[in-house]
């Protein structure tokens, strides 16, 4: 029985500490971007033969004033509480390598306002229930009750089970309310794929083709506009 009580107390405390650490932990520092270019210049200066062979790909990447993706912005709105960030980062890297100069923005797709408000209330209910279970005998008289209600004694008799159940069910409910299942892709404000509508993730080749068609269409429109002005 003692081990069971320690488990029921330790589990919600561990979850609470992990939530606090994740809430206040600073974001990881961005990796410096100049190391690659610095090392690249070192390789070029160390061997003239390597400098010749690396000259063409260097010009291809850096000669980017005419990059096909310049001037276009792709926005990927995804459900951050659904562990979709890995898929979003994969698509971002694929698009940046396929369309040099393109700007890919990752953003969280928020749930509807009622769900957001309810998810903010869940921690309040959790801490309120834990406070009542632990100190209800002092709380209810301050609220004007002569004696605590009967259900308080039922919860107090199994305080460890009540606290752990409240914490676990509250975390599950909060995750459910924040879950949208969204993975929406748009370019220059025009949506090209919606997981909410298609009920599936886009394939890399499929998304590359969709973005390529939109970029090609915009370049054709720009060329016609330039010809009309000239």
Look at residue 222 and tell me if it is in a domain: no
Indicate which CATH number applies to the domain containing 100: 3.40.30.10
pLDDT (tens digit per residue) in 67-93: 777 889 999 999 988 889 999 999 999
If you average pLDDT over residues 142-158, what whole number do you get? 86
Dist. CA 94–CA 22, nearest whole Å: 29
Q: Is the pLDDT of residue 2 over 70?
A: no
Q: Which domain holds residue 192?
A: 68-110+180-216
Q: Do residue 144 and residue 166 come from a single domain?
A: yes
Look at residue 101 and tell me if it is in a domain: yes
Q: What residues form DSSP beta bridges with 77?
A: 107, 184
Report which of residues 141 and 57 the model is more confident about.
141
If you average pLDDT over residues 19-39, what whole number do you get? 53
Dist. CA 19–CA 10, nearest whole Å: 14
Look at residue 161 and tell me if it is in a domain: yes
Look at residue 10 and tell me if it is in a domain: no
Q: Do residue 74 and residue 106 come from a single domain?
A: yes
Look at residue 27 and tell me if it is in a domain: no
- What is the domain count for the chain? 2
Q: What is the pLDDT of residue 197?
A: 94
Length of the chain: 230
What pTM was computed for the model? 0.57
């Amino acid at each position: 029985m003692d081990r069971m009580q320690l488990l029921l107390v330790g589990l919600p405390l561990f979850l609470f500490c992990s939530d606090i650490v994740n809430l206040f932990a600073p974001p990881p520092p961005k990796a410096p971007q100049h190391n690659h270019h610095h090392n690249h210049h070192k390789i070029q200066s160390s061997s003239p033969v390597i400098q010749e062979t690396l000259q063409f790909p260097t010009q291809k990447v850096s000669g980017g004033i005419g990059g096909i993706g310049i001037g276009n912005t792709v926005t990927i709105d995804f459900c951050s509480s659904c562990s979709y960030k890995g898929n979003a980062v994969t698509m971002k890297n694929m698009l940046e390598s396929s369309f040099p100069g393109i700007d890919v923005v990752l953003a969280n797709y928020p749930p509807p306002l009622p769900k957001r408000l309810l998810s903010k209330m869940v921690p309040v209910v959790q801490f309120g229930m834990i406070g009542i279970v632990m100190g209800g005998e002092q709380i209810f008289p301050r609220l004007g009750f002569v004696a605590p209600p009967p259900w308080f004694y039922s919860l107090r008799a199994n305080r460890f089970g009540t606290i752990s159940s409240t914490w676990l069910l509250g975390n599950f409910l909060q995750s459910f309310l924040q879950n949208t299942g969204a993975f929406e892709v748009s370019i220059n404000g025009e949506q090209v794929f919606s997981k909410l509508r298609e009920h599936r993730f886009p394939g890399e080749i499929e998304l590359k083709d969709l973005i390529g068609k939109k970029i090609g269409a915009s370049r054709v429109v720009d060329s016609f506009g330039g010809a009309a002005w000239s």
